[in-house]
Structure 1
Amino acid sequence: MPALEIGIALAAAALVGIIYPHAIYPFVLRLIYSRAADPVTTDPDIRVSVDVVIAAYNEAGRIERCLQSIVNQEYPSQLMSITVGDDGSSDNTVARIRAFASQHPDREITVVPLPRTGKNGVITELMARCTSAIVVFTDADCVWAPDALGHLLAPFHDHRVGAVVGKNDRGAMREATDPAERGEALYRSMEDRGNVRGSEVASTV
């Protein structure tokens, strides 16, 4: 095959690889969604025990804000525990967590210092310690809206639901002056909509 034809074929394949997931697949999903959507039934008042799990590495500057947002959830405190696995941090992440826990003696907040094993290793270790009906994973740099946990748990009212993914608030990024951040916000918003529609029609692409 001549080099020109090979080049055209590769360019066409690359173009399809870009267009299909961002234009064709969402369009197909929209058609299927409009005809075959099977919405999940939710219960905003669901009350179950919850273990919140956080893997942290050198998060001294952010962990307290994350913990505070979790403590501020509009959810019964007696049904929620927070466990932070420290992945061998070289800063004072562990001290910050312990200080925060001491300031909230009425909350179940535990820090587990671990050797440096990576996030997956920390999550595996913490999962072995979980005993609640639901386990919620979050990153140490996440800040939860006050009703975030309620929204995460509501779909578990439907027996078909085995996992729920939270949604990031892209508002601040969309208002950013950096074109790259605005572009990422637009892309992530499109991806979020696709994920929701895909879930409704049992697609995991």
Structure 2
Amino acid sequence: MNSTQFLSISLPVGFASATAFGLIAVGAFGLSWSLLGSLAPVLFAKVVKRRPLQAASSRESLTFEVLVTAHNEAEVIERTLESVSVSISSFVQSEHFGSRLQTKVTVGLDHCTDGTALKVEQFSARHPSLEIATVPNFGSAGKWTMLALLAEQSQATWIAFVDCGSIWHRDLVREVSRHWSDDAVLAVAPSYLPERGLAGGGALERANWKLEQLLKSLENHAGGPTSVHGATVFYRKETLLTVLKTLKNRTWLNDDVVIPLSLRLRFPTHRIVYLAARTSEQGAGAVDGWVTDVGVRSELGLEIRRRRRLVLGNLQWVDGIYLADFFQSFVRSPYAMAVASRRIFRLFWAYWVLFLGLGIGMTVALLAPAFRNDGTGIIVGIFLSSTLFAFVYRSNWMRRLLMAFLSGLDCPRLWLSLKNEKEISWN
């Protein structure tokens, strides 16, 4: 073989090897940061010994209001209200604040056309000791509009945004109340875990949520998470209204990121508390997740629209909040910006997986040329493809994961057309 032939072979092989290595490196870094990116601000906070603002405990009377958003939720509204009622009753009977707590439940009816209002009325009649009211939305439909309306009409010190279908642990209010008298606490986000056996409650997805619980628990050491699970979040109303006024210019789709991130950026010395799961060693019984959700719908059509809404919502806050004033925000709230970066990397997780897959595939092709000659590669490819198809066909979780993957690949197109996208309010 002469030098010309050698170069003609080695150059493409060398380029392919470098490309494969680059794809694997980018994919591995992206996935690693999307999973473990929160460790960076946590470690930095440990090094500099971050001391968040502290406030002395207070025994003053408290007012607390549960704000439930509902859009045609007749099937699940009563289960949510029942769990809320039990948790409030358990707290009132405790010694922490006792009868000094003034509570109220308000259900926001957003253009409901089913029997949601009737279900609320019937539940209220069966529970006369619990003050329950309804607030209809006569304006434009949408969860964000409903949340803003409910928050503005509330007279409570602390409020809880609750999705229909959310089921509270009976000790939830008692655990959250430990942070109410600390003025440094902006919000309390309870851990979430899908109810076992329902759509989204399979073993793999529950394991994924437990990993997320661990990561958010670590973020507590850097001022708390910048994204929470929207099924239930407790907010100090005064600071919440402050940031809601700055967010009125847009109908935001992901309130579970927009509000916590805005709070962290606006009040950098304060914190959001993530209420982690409780182990049996901590007493009073183990709690896998303080909130479960029986309102998950498994239809693929709804899942596609929901995933697309999530992607659009993430692109909204990345464009309108995170990047809008990046350098000033980073100087003012470096911990919050660093923690939020994990969510941004996770937004593009489909590309990290794609890069890893392409890089590994190219590496296998380069290291095992025999696969191309004797047909082994074709057989292995057919086997792996068939196995993947079987998983996707038989597993609801795999189908939902596939929908998330396809939605993730659509990120660049949605980003470019973000201003022209029609808003999606509920599904």
TM-score range, shorter chain: 0.7 to 0.9
**Which stretch shows the higher mean deviation, 176-185 or 122-131?**
176-185
Hey, what does 1:22 align to over in structure 2? Answer: 35
2:143 matched to which residue of 1?
119
Specify the alignment match of 2:171 in structure 1. Answer: 147
The alignment of Structure 1 onto Structure 2 pairs a total of residues equal to: 202
Q: Is the 8 A contact 1:62 1:141 kept in 2?
A: yes
Q: What whole-Å deviation, never above 9, does each CA across 1:83-125 have from its counterpart, x for those lacking one? A: 1101112321111001111222232101123246111011111
Distance in structure 2 (CA, Å) of the matches to 1:82 and 1:164: 18
Q: Is the 8 A contact 1:45 1:150 kept in 2?
A: no
1:194 aligns with one of 214, 218, 223: 218
Q: Which moved more, 1:135-144 or 1:179-188?
A: 179-188
2:66 alignment partner, SS class: strand
> Does 2:112 align with 1:89?
yes
Change (3 A) 1:189 1:149: same
- Map residues 171-186 of structure 1 onto 2, 5 A cutoff: 172=196, 178-186=202-210
Which structure: greater helix fraction? 2
TM-score, L = length of structure 2: 0.41
Consecutive unaligned residues of structure 2, counting only runs of 5 or more, are 1-11, 93-98, 225-268, 272-334, 340-427
Pairing partner for 1:48 from 33, 50, 62: 62
Which residue identity lines up with residue 134 of structure 1 in the other structure? W
Give SS of 2:153's match: coil
Q: Distance in 2 between matches of 1:47 and 1:138?
A: 23
Q: Which residue does the alignment assign to 2:292?
A: none
Q: Matches of residues 99-118 of structure 1 in structure 2 within 5 Å?
A: 99-115=122-138, 117-118=141-142
How do 1:62-101 residues align onto structure 2 when only pairs under 5 Å count?
62-72=76-86, 73=88, 74-75=91-92, 76=99, 79-101=102-124
Secondary structure in 2 matching 1:146: coil
Distance 1:182 1:143, change over 3 A: closer
Task: Point out which structure has higher relative CO (alpha carbons under 8 A, 6+ apart).
Answer: 1
1:112-143 CA-to-partner distances (Å, cap 9, x unmatched) read: 23246111011111112101111211111111
What are structure 1's unaligned runs of at least 5 residues? none
- Which residue of structure 1 aligns with residue 190 of structure 2? 166
Once the two structures are TM-superposed, the CA of residue 145 in structure 1 deviates from its matched residue by 1.7
Contact 2:193/2:206 (<8 A) preserved:
no
Partner of 2:386 in structure 1? none
User: 2: CA distance between counterparts of 1:62 and 1:34?
Assistant: 47
Secondary structure of the 1:164 match is: strand
- From 121, 124, 129, the counterpart of 2:153: 129
Segments ≥4 residues shifted beyond 6 Å: 39-42
Distance change in 2, residues 1:28/1:137 (3 Å): closer
Per the alignment, do residues 58 and 152 of structure 1 end up closer, same or farther by CA in structure 2, a change over 3 Å counting? same
User: Do 1:101 and 1:109's aligned partners in 2 also have CA atoms closer than 8 Å?
Assistant: yes
Q: Partners in 2 of 1:71 and 1:195 — Cα distance?
A: 30
Residues 29, 172 of structure 1: CA spacing in aligned structure 2 closer, same or farther, 3 A cutoff? farther
Classify 1:193/1:140 alpha carbon distance in 2 versus 1 (closer, same or farther; 3 Å): same
Q: Which residue number corresponds to residue 58 of structure 1?
A: 72
Bigger radius of gyration among the two:
2
Structure 1 Cα separation of the partners of residues 60 and 83 of structure 2: 20
Pairwise CA RMSD = 3.4
1:51 and 1:136 in contact (8 A); partners too:
yes
Matched residues in 2 for 1:35 and 1:45: separation?
33
For 2:154, the aligned partner's letter is C
SS of aligned partner of 2:178: helix
Of 25, 48, 52, which residue of structure 2 is paired with 1:12?
Answer: 25
| TM-score, structure 1 normalization | 0.79
Q: For residues 180 and 58 of structure 1, do their structure 2 counterparts lie closer, same or farther at Cα, with a shift above 3 Å needed?
A: farther
What amino acid is aligned across from residue 20 of structure 1 in structure 2?
W
